[in-house]
Amino acid sequence: MATSKKTRARAVSKRPKKKAAAKATTPAKKAAPGRKAASAKKAASAAKAPRSSALKSRKAPETLRLKSFTPSLTVHDLGKSLDFYTDALGFIVGEKWTDGDVLRGVMLKAGATELGLSQDDWKLGRDRKKGEGFRIWCDTAQDLDAIAARVRAAGFSLTDEPADHPAWGVRTFSVDDPDGFHLTIARDL
């Protein structure tokens, strides 16, 4: 992937540069002889000057700003969990990790989000509890009742039926995956 980004960057840098369109200027705004007029980028950054003082007042140390957030769950039976997330909820498999012929993990996709699942290696014991005190909150613009019906049709039970929550401004339903991880699917009212 890094190679393709470098290649793309080189290709972009070899493109001929577009000449800026000549702008009509008033005599007071003409650039001094031998100097180029300020670029649109410089003008735009100058317009943002008040924002730079706000950046200086940020907390130190700087707060975390993420581009994405991808939880990964360790599960008892990867095949059973894979059926739940793909057949019942509608995730698609993005990547698979195997050890020989044995499936060890998957990266699932739903829209712009991802969720990792990995098979427990049992190093911490077979009675290790999963899912307690943990909830994944999922927002969608899709028909919530249709998704709930899909979950039921795949043979899974809802822990909370679809219901409106006007105080929160959402309609939700909840379901537990085969390992007890709690998921709440929500749509704005």
* Cα distance between residue 112 and residue 138, in whole Å: 12
CATH of domain 72-121+133-188: 3.10.180.10
**In sequence order, what DSSP letters do the residues of 45-95 get, joined into one string?**
HHHTHHHHHHHHTS-SSPPP--S----EEEES-HHHHHHIIIIIT--EEEE
Q: What is the pLDDT of residues 51-102, one digit of tens each?
A: 555 556 666 778 878 788 899 999 999 999 999 999 999 999 999 999 999 9
Per DSSP, what are the bridge partners of residue 102? 99
Burial category of 136 from C-beta neighbours within 10 Å (exposed 0-12, middle 13-18, buried 19 and up): middle
Residue 15 has pLDDT above 90, yes or no: no
Question: Model pTM?
Answer: 0.64
Residue with structure tokens 């795949």? 154
Written as six digits, the tokens of 81 are 């969990």
Ordered by start, the domain boundaries in the chain are: 72-121+133-188
